[in-house]
Amino acid sequence: MNITERFLSYVKFDTQSSEDAQGCPSTPKQLVFAEYLKNELISEGLTEVEMDEHGYIYATLPANTDTNVPVIGFIAHMDTSPDCSGKDIRPRIVSNYDGKDIILSEGIVSSPDKFPELLSHIGEDLIVTDGHTLLGADDKAGIAEIIQAMVYLQQHPEVKHGKIRIAFNPDEEIGMGAHLFDVEKFGCQFAYTIDGSEVGELEFENFNAASAKIHINGCSVHPGYAKGKMINAGRIATELVQMLPQDETPETTEGYEGFFHLTSIQGGCESADLSFIIRDHNRKKFEQRKERMEEVIAVINAKYGESVAELTLNDQYYNMREKVEPMMYIIDIAKQAMQEAGVTPRIQAIRGGTDGAQLSFKGLPCPNIFAGGINFHGPYEFCPVQSMEKAMMTIVNICKALA
């Protein structure tokens, strides 16, 4: 099975996670895919293959050298984003892409006018959707690349390597992927998540992240007799949104700029609920953003009455840079591995997060490497086959370099 066939077999599984669910995994369908992967790893000859009750999978490729080599790991996640359907994905391959519009389905077009990143992949073979679902390269491409690299190493015993551990986990897309990850069992000195996007991405900085859930308690009264009595929760919710900086949202920021992002709003006169995510690379500014949210709630309650607005703030993960910087040689190894695979490394900060951020704070330094997919979390997602092949060889070259 080649890497394309492997990836296409994975996207048949609907593994969308859910922010509204309790427990792990957040959706039982992730366990179906996990069971499939467990059996595949066994059939591909890996050892110490196990899956726990939460769907976390661990496996080993034993060393083929007596040299004292650090135990390293490679990690990818099984779930796909709640932002777009992952059910009944219908991928197809656009061979030798010519740089023109790609008709995904009738009336749905992926155009380089809107997505200029397509032009970086002229002449390559692009795996696309039918425009009704996401593709799932985030992060099934990463899983395919890791397993294909392990197969390659077994087929090429002349490539010496130490003990390699791999792991696949659920619920990364809802920020919970590393919560039940058993770092001690994994037993690695360091690891890499294969969860980046464009070819060459190498990341060891990410956002500090928090979630903010706000409930507005209104008071519904007949509108004809409402003066001095009604508290319209829906209107207060929109007022609250306008109190936050309007030029500090995802659609107005880039690079190291942080933001407040309204992810959902619903309700009416009686009650309303809002969900935000808060992001900033700078820890001090991150804390200030959380304080700003608390100040907004205080203003609302001072204006409309105590406990009209209720805020729940939860930190999700922090910037892994402080944990990786003392071990910058692991970045140098990855850069060298990419160059040997014909890839130009592009070190940049993640405008998002990875399981590696949380794992780094659990004692497993874990920078992030490209998986090759582009336009994640939506129906215009695509993944060049050549990008997956380069990611696979980057993994192989990391293993080879350490030995």
Q: What is the DSSP string of 184-220?
A: HHH--SEEEEEEE-STTEEE----EEEEEEEEEE-B-
| pLDDT at residue 352 in the model | 80
Q: Is the pLDDT of residue 355 over 90?
A: no
Strand partners, 109: 103
Per-residue pLDDT band at 189 (split at 50, 70, 90): very high
160 and 403 in contact (C-beta within 8 Å)?
Answer: yes
Ordered by where they begin, the domains of the chain are 3-206+319-402 (3.40.630.10), 208-317 (3.30.70.360)
| pLDDT at residue 317 in the model | 87
Per-residue pLDDT band at 22 (split at 50, 70, 90): confident
| pLDDT at residue 85 in the model | 95
350 and 206 in contact (C-beta within 8 Å)?
Answer: yes
| pLDDT at residue 187 in the model | 97
Region of 267 (left: φ > 0; alpha: ψ -120 to 50; beta: rest) is left
Q: What is the mean pLDDT of residues 338-351?
A: 94
| pLDDT at residue 165 in the model | 98
> What are 69-121's pLDDT values in tens digits?
999 999 999 999 999 999 999 999 999 999 999 999 999 999 999 999 999 99
> DSSP assignment, residue 180?
T
User: Residue 287 corresponds to which tokens in the numbers above?
Assistant: 């804390």
Residues in the chain: 403
Distance CA 203, CA 352 (A): 11
| pLDDT at residue 20 in the model | 86
| pLDDT at residue 276 in the model | 97
| pLDDT at residue 19 in the model | 87
| pLDDT at residue 21 in the model | 87
**pLDDT > 70 in the chain, percent:** 100
Our measurement of the distance from residue 284's CA atom to the centroid of its chain's CA atoms, rounded to an integer in Å, reads 24
List, in order, residues 6 or more apart from 26 with CB less than 8 Å away: 17, 18, 19, 79, 170, 171, 174, 176
List, in order, residues 6 or more apart from 55 with CB less than 8 Å away: 24, 25, 30, 31, 34, 78, 169, 170
> What are 266-302's pLDDT values in tens digits?
999 999 999 999 999 999 999 999 999 999 999 999 9
> What are 299-312's pLDDT values in tens digits?
999 999 999 999 99
Average pLDDT, the chain: 96
| pLDDT at residue 316 in the model | 86
Per the model's pLDDT, the better-predicted residue between 357 and 337 turns out to be 337
SS (H, E, C) 247-262: CCCHHHCCCCCCEEEE
> What are 199-230's pLDDT values in tens digits?
999 999 999 999 999 999 999 999 999 999 99
For residue 367, whether the previous peptide bond is cis, meaning omega lies within 30 degrees of 0, is: no
Catalytic site positions? 79, 172
| pLDDT at residue 350 in the model | 87
List, in order, residues 6 or more apart from 239 with CB less than 8 Å away: 300
Radius of gyration in angstroms for the set of CA atoms belonging to the chain, rounded to a whole number? 23
| pLDDT at residue 371 in the model | 97
Per the model's pLDDT, the better-predicted residue between 345 and 351 turns out to be 345
Per-residue pLDDT band at 231 (split at 50, 70, 90): very high
Distance CA 261, CA 267 (A): 18
| pLDDT at residue 354 in the model | 78
Helix (H, G, I), strand (E, B) or coil at 69: coil
| pLDDT at residue 141 in the model | 98
List, in order, residues 6 or more apart from 34 with CB less than 8 Å away: 25, 51, 55, 56, 57, 78, 168, 170
Region of 375 (left: φ > 0; alpha: ψ -120 to 50; beta: rest) is left
List, in order, residues 6 or more apart from 79 with CB less than 8 Å away: 15, 16, 17, 25, 26, 27, 30, 170, 171, 172, 173, 174, 177
Q: Count of CB atoms within 10 A of residue 93's CB?
A: 14
Q: Is the pLDDT of residue 353 over 80?
A: no
SS (H, E, C) 280-299: ECCHHHHHHHHHHHHHHHHH
pTM of the complete model: 0.86
| pLDDT at residue 49 in the model | 98
> DSSP assignment, residue 364?
-
